[in-house]
Amino acid sequence: MNLHALLQARADANAPVRAGLIGAGKFGSMFLSQVPSTPGLQVTVIADLSPERARQSCRAVGWSEERIAATSFVEDGAELCASDAVDVVIDSTGSPGAGVVHALAAIENGKHIVMVNVEADVLAGPALAARARKAGTVYSMAYGDQPALVSEMVDWGRAAGFTVQAAGKGTKYLPAYHQVTPDEVWTHYGLTPDAAKAAGMNSQMFNSFLDGTKSAIEMAAIANACGLAVPEAGLSFPPCGVDDLAHLLRPRAVGGQLEGEGMVEVISSLERDGRPVFRDLRWGVYVVLEAPNDYAAACFRQYGLPVDSTGRYAAMYKPFHLIGLELGISVLSAALRGEPTGHSRFFRGDAVAVAKRDLAVGDMLDGEGGYTVWGRLMPARASVATKALPIGLAHGVRITCPVKTGEVVTLNDVEPLADTPALQLRRETEAMA
């Protein structure tokens, strides 16, 4: 609780925490908007494929021309990672391959790395985190994004002496969404294609939130950070409001819907017939706690927590998250405390490619949020055993064997993958399953 005091001391000493941002898109821009009002924090280098576009992003979020002139703008993330003017590297590219390369470069240069890029974290985060620990640097999830917020709640619950029986987030979900393509996505968001284009919104990226891929990625990240279990059949997205969390998200053995104890799950803000769920958690995160004794269970009720019929299970939730506006917490925690705001410690969950339609020999996969595959959550041990294709490696890969709609795409169904740093770190991660 002293993060601001530590930061103020750096400001008073004229020794600011120096961050380097790779990728000045929406998430990165939200972070940049907070920098001028955070004394003691400075963004010294910004890397973007278009430095001029990055400068415009800085202007759009309110940076002065003096601040922009004092910042270096480069195209190459590796150059940023090697800069002596950077203490903490932030990867906000969204590209799994690029994220792995940037994390390796940051670690090799003795920098802390905040991985906004959850796609890269799920692909190879456990191996990257292990390398960072060995090098004496911090590898961290991005605060403000849901995996880090859930990890914080899980850590809090366990440290307070409770058993965490479920953890996750809310989203808008219907089963038909798994087949939605970028051509159809905007109708589900209540937008026209022209309006989305005018707002600079990327249809494939937004489709990954709708078709279930992003949920699978984020739940895998939480499972890997917290050591929680993953449903054998993947996420079930039960419709659930905040008042029913403790009742619904408890093990089946005691009347809930979870197949076991200590699991991740995503709840839907829509009933299966499309009606809105009462008091939904579409934008928020939650944990379900089990009391260790009768006295603690009684306290749940006395202090107003939503509980199940037994009183033994209670829910805590946060209805909103502020995404990049909160990212500075991760940067400062790494630089001032030497602590991550959540990081991959295990390999418990994986996000794997599933065919959106019948895939024929010669078809080219287009990755997360695209026309060909969506990402399903799978236990990591099952993913490794079946040679499932990670969603993070399912872009620009050609199909060599037919795959039916709804089937998991495996390494045996595609041409050999290029031997990239991402694949190498993925193999290190799979050895940890």
For 273-329, how does the pLDDT look when each residue is reduced to its tens digit (9 = 90+)?
999 999 999 999 999 999 999 999 999 999 999 999 999 999 999 999 999 999 999
Rounded Cα gap, residues 386 and 194, in angstroms: 42
189/164: higher pLDDT: 164
pLDDT of residue 248: 98
How large a percentage of the chain has pLDDT more than 90? Answer: 95
Q: Is the dihedral of CA 213, 216, 221, 224 positive or negative?
A: negative
Q: Per-residue DSSP letters for 268-316? A: ESB-TTSPBPTT--TT-EEEEEE-SSHHHHHHHHHTT--B-TTSSEEEE
pLDDT of residue 59: 97
302-316: pLDDT as tens digits: 999 999 999 999 999
pLDDT of residue 112: 98
The one-character DSSP state at 29 is: H
Burial annotation 12-30 (CB, 10 A radius, 16+ → b, else e): eeeebbbbbbbbbbbbbbb
pLDDT of residue 200: 67
CB neighbours (10 Å) of residue 85?
A: 12
Domains of the chain: 3-142+327-337 (3.40.50.720), 147-173+212-321 (no CATH), 349-430 (3.90.1210.10)
Residues 6 or more apart from 26 whose CB is under 8 A from it?
324
Q: At what angle do helices 118-135 and 421-430 cross, to 10 degrees?
A: 80
Binned at pLDDT 50, 70 and 90, residue 402 comes out as: very high
pLDDT of residue 197: 78
Check whether 363 has a pLDDT greater than 90. Answer: yes
pLDDT of residue 265: 98
Binned at pLDDT 50, 70 and 90, residue 139 comes out as: very high
- Three-state secondary structure call for residue 36: helix
- Three-state secondary structure call for residue 379: strand
Contact between 29 and 4 (Cβ < 8 Å) = no
pLDDT of residue 215: 98
Maximum separation of any 2 CA atoms in the chain, in Å: 63
How large a percentage of the chain has pLDDT more than 70? Answer: 100
175-232: pLDDT as tens digits: 999 999 999 999 988 888 888 877 667 899 899 999 999 999 999 999 999 999 999 9
- Three-state secondary structure call for residue 204: helix
pTM listed for this prediction: 0.97
Strands (E), 309-409: 313-318, 349-355, 364-366, 373-379, 395-398
pLDDT of residue 391: 98
pLDDT of residue 191: 87
What is the chain's mean pLDDT, rounded? 97
CB neighbours (10 Å) of residue 66?
A: 8
236-255: pLDDT as tens digits: 999 999 999 999 999 999 99
90-121: pLDDT as tens digits: 999 999 999 999 999 999 999 999 999 999 99
pLDDT of residue 376: 98
- Mean pLDDT lowest among 38-42, 120-124, 187-191, 422-426: 187-191
Dig out the tokens for 432 from the structure. Answer: 């940890």
Pairing of strands 17-22, 41-47: parallel
51-102: pLDDT as tens digits: 999 999 999 999 999 999 999 999 999 999 999 999 999 999 999 999 999 9
Residues 6 or more apart from 372 whose CB is under 8 A from it?
355, 356, 357, 359, 363, 364, 365, 366, 394
> Average pLDDT of 355-383?
98
Rounded Cα gap, residues 44 and 110, in angstroms: 17
HSE, side-chain direction, 13 A CA sphere, residue 183: 3
